[in-house]
Amino acid sequence: MIALTSFVVVPERLNATCKQINVFSDKGPVNLIDEAFPRIGQLPEGVSVVYDVKSHVHALQFLPNTKDIQIPTRKIFQQCQYFPEEFSVFFIMKHVQMTKHKQCLLSIAHAQKTQLSVCISRKKIVFTFDNKRTRFRSSVLTFNQWHTVGFSVTGSHVTMTTDCLNIRKHKLKRAFPSFLEVENSVINIGGCNSCESAFQVRR
């Protein structure tokens, strides 16, 4: 089970086509949790609000039968059909009751094909782009503890930062493109083709 308090996408460099229209001028960094659940009173079936006694916060709990939580990319990229060529993704998470399989945190998919995803297992955090996996050790993450995790992608490299202290940089097996079309794609929270679902999001 995975718990998240926020999931923020920060564009750092837009491709040439989108620079002229300043795609994120209205929203700035985008919190995907807020985009997926704008109103607590209108949660989809299988999602409920619970109280995390240990952390003293309310949380959104996902039952196993909950369908993938999807956000159309056109809702985020309203004026551009391309994903930023340089970007960062930040989230605050706690993982408990981990199975031996990978659990999905985030994915972007088009026509049932995963374009980009982030998954976690007992030993690895896996960033996948175009079916090419880049693995980071998850030993820096303690079970049942909250951690801040960030991924920054710049050209041919991806950097993972944990708790604003531990920084690890790997070379991508395939450089991230300047023009990754996402006009008809969807952003999935807790759902990937190659990973199990994550069932809890903190709010």
pLDDT at 96: 64
pLDDT at 191: 65
pLDDT at 24: 47
pLDDT at 161: 94
Contacts of 73 (CB under 8 A, 6+ apart): 83, 108, 182, 183, 184, 185, 186, 187
Contact 187, 32 (CB under 8 A): yes
pTM of the model: 0.78
* 84: nearest Cα among 159, 16, 169: 16
User: Per-10-residue mean pLDDT for the chain, 203 residues long?
Assistant: 65 64 56 78 72 72 65 82 86 69 81 86 87 88 84 92 91 86 85 56 45
Domains in the chain, CATH or no CATH each: 2-202 (2.60.120.200)
